[in-house]
Amino acid sequence: MSPAAEVFIQATDTDPDTRAQAVIERSHGQLLEQIEAVAAAGGQPATRFAEHLYRCLAATDLTLYAAASGAAETRLVVRALRAGVRTIGEQIDALNAATDEPGRREAAHALKGGLTLLLGAERDVLLPALRALPGVDLSALAEDFTTVLNGGRLEDSTVVDVREIPHGRRHPRIFTRFARLAEGESFVLVNNHDPKPLRREFEATHPGRFTWEYVESGPEQWQVRISRVTGSA
HSE-up (13 A, CA, CB side) for residue 102:
0
**CATH class entry, domain 159-228:** alpha beta
pLDDT attached to residue 132:
85
Sign of CA dihedral 84, 88, 91, 97: negative
Q: 130 near 138, Cβ under 8 Å?
A: yes
pLDDT attached to residue 115:
94
Per-domain boundaries in the chain:
9-149, 159-228
pLDDT attached to residue 42:
57
Per-residue pLDDT of the chain (233 residues; tens, 9 = 90+): 333 344 444 455 567 888 888 989 898 888 888 887 776 665 667 778 888 899 999 999 988 998 887 677 888 999 999 999 999 999 999 988 888 878 888 888 899 999 999 999 999 999 999 888 766 778 888 888 999 888 888 777 899 999 988 777 788 778 878 877 888 999 999 999 999 999 998 888 788 989 999 999 999 999 999 999 977 55
* pTM for the structure as a whole: 0.70
pLDDT attached to residue 71:
72
pLDDT attached to residue 4:
39
Helices 196-205 and 170-179, interaxial angle, to 10°? Answer: 40
pLDDT attached to residue 41:
63
